[in-house]
Every structure is written in structure tokens, then in C-alpha cells.
């Protein structure tokens, strides 16, 4: 600990280094910890201890960062998981919107290959499965977690991995379909249903990819902290 660093500040810095997750929620948890430590410090000051000694006593009785980090990290992971699950639940809706790509501009009569349509149907069902998994995740992170004592990481990480794979495949397929439709009919670039589908796909799956990458990083193996 730096000689210029107060015991509470040093403690919170070590706790912060052990946590991964949304910055806003992590900041809230650290603020709650700071408030608790300062309340304890004030109580010890009132009992006659000097400032630094009171902080050290409060920190000592609060528990070490290694002891508290798992519970704090579980709360961060559960919060991330709930937000991710809500976005994944929108994937089937996005796939239905993507069907707008097959509305054709006037004077065009393209037809998709049967193999391509089979892949589209398979990805439709994959999106429904991902949406169902998201709903199950919300259940497991809610009432079921208290009943079955589930660790949020064991629920959230599989959802993130499935969402990343399914979302990537759907996004790639949507891009292929859009490019193919444009090559067959340049008028598709100005066809409102095509534009709407592109906006929906890119917004939904861009957000989904960003969230899944963050969740996978946050729920991966913990680095060793000195």
C-alpha cells in the first residue's frame, strides 16, 4: 500500500481490480462498500480511535477483497446476464423482420436457391432456440437462482457463447442475402423493406455481438491477482 493511500482507498482499489462487469454497476457496488466502510470508521472514531486506525479496523472487519469479490462478481455477472438475455430474446423478432429482405421491388422476379432457403429455415429455428434459452436464463437468474443456488456464471456464459455463434451466423447470412439481392436488382438498395431489414439486423446483431463479447470476457478464467 502506498504511504499516501488511505486504508479504505487501498482496499477499494484492490476490490475493484478483482471485479469485471458493467462499469456503472461496479461503481455502485464499490460505492456501497465505501459507504459501509466509512460508517464503520465513524463508529470507531466515536469510540476514540484516530482516523487511520479507525479505517484499518473497519477494513479488517469488512473481510478481505478476495473474500468479498466472488459475491460481488456474481451480482455483476447476473446483471450482465439479464441484459444479454433480454437482447437475445429479441433475436426471433429480428429474424422475422429480416424476412422483409425477400419482399421484392417492382419488376424483379428473383428466386432464392432451395439450399439457401433451407439454411434460412435452419437459422430461423436456431434463433427460436436462442430466444427460448434467453427466457430460461432469465428464469434461472431470478427465482430459480435462490431456490437452486446457481452460480450466475454457469448460466450466463453458455448463453453468451450460443448467442455469439447464432448471432454471427444470422448476421453473416443477412449480409449475404442483402448483397445477393442487390447484385440481382440494384433497385433493392432503395427498396424500403430492404432498408428496414438492414437497419434492424445491424442494430440488433451489432448490439448482441458487443454484449456477448463483453460477457464472455467477464466470465472467463480469472487472472491471478497478487
Domains of the chain (ranges plus CATH)? 7-63 (no CATH), 79-218 (1.20.120)
Mean pLDDT of 39-59: 93
Query: For residues 99 and 178, what is the distance between their CA atoms, to the nearest angstrom?
Result: 11
Whether the pLDDT of residue 181 is over 80: the answer is no
Query: For residues 33 and 36, what is the distance between their CA atoms, to the nearest angstrom?
Result: 5
More confident residue, 222 or 64: 64
Residue 148 grid coordinates: 437452486
Whether the pLDDT of residue 58 is over 80: the answer is yes
Mean pLDDT of 174-192: 73
Cell 429455415 found at: 121
What is the percentage of the chain residues whose pLDDT exceeds 90? 27
CA dist 29 → 20, 132, 226 (Å): 12, 31, 22
Q: Going by C-beta distance under 8 Å and a sequence separation of 6 or more, which residues neighbour residue 141?
A: 78, 81, 82, 85, 150, 152, 155, 156
pTM above 0.75, yes or no: no
More confident residue, 222 or 109: 222
Confidence (pLDDT) at 12: 95
Q: Quickly state the pLDDT bin for 16 (edges 50, 70, 90).
A: very high
Mean pLDDT of 5-32: 91
Confidence (pLDDT) at 99: 62
Q: Quickly state the pLDDT bin for 107 (edges 50, 70, 90).
A: very low
Neighbours of 53 (CB within 10 A): 14
Whether the pLDDT of residue 15 is over 70: the answer is yes
CA dist 175 → 128, 153, 154, 184 (Å): 20, 32, 32, 14
Mean pLDDT of 75-98: 84
Whether the pLDDT of residue 77 is over 50: the answer is yes
More confident residue, 114 or 11: 11
Amino acid at each position: 500500500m502506498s504511504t499516501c493511500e488511505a486504508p479504505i482507498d487501498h482496499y477499494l482499489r484492490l476490490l475493484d481490480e478483482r471485479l469485471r462487469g458493467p462499469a456503472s454497476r461496479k461503481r455502485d457496488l464499490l460505492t456501497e462498500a465505501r459507504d459501509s466502510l466509512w460508517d464503520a470508521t465513524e463508529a470507531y472514531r466515536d469510540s476514540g480511535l484516530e482516523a487511520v486506525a479507525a479505517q484499518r479496523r473497519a477494513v479488517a472487519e469488512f473481510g478481505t477483497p478476495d473474500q468479498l469479490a466472488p459475491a460481488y462478481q456474481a451480482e455483476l455477472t447476473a446483471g450482465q446476464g439479464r441484459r444479454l438475455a433480454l437482447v437475445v430474446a429479441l433475436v426471433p423478432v429480428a429474424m422475422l423482420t429480416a424476412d422483409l429482405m425477400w419482399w421484392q421491388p417492382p419488376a424483379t422476379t428473383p428466386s432464392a436457391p432451395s439450399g439457401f432457403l433451407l439454411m434460412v429455415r435452419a437459422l430461423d429455428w436456431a434463433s427460436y432456440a436462442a430466444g427460448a434459452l434467453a427466457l430460461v436464463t432469465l428464469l434461472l437468474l431470478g427465482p430459480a437462482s435462490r431456490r437452486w443456488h446457481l452460480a450466475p456464471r454457469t448460466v450466463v456464459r453458455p448463453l453468451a457463447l450460443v448467442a455469439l455463434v447464432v448471432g454471427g451466423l444470422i448476421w453473416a447470412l443477412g449480409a449475404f442475402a442483402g448483397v445477393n439481392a442487390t447484385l440481382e436488382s440494384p433497385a433493392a438498395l432503395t427498396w424500403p423493406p430492404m432498408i428496414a431489414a438492414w437497419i434492424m439486423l445491424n442494430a440488433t446483431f451489432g448490439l448482441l455481438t458487443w454484449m456477448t463479447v463483453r460477457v464472455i470476457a467477464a466470465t472467463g478464467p480469472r487472472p491471478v491477482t497478487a
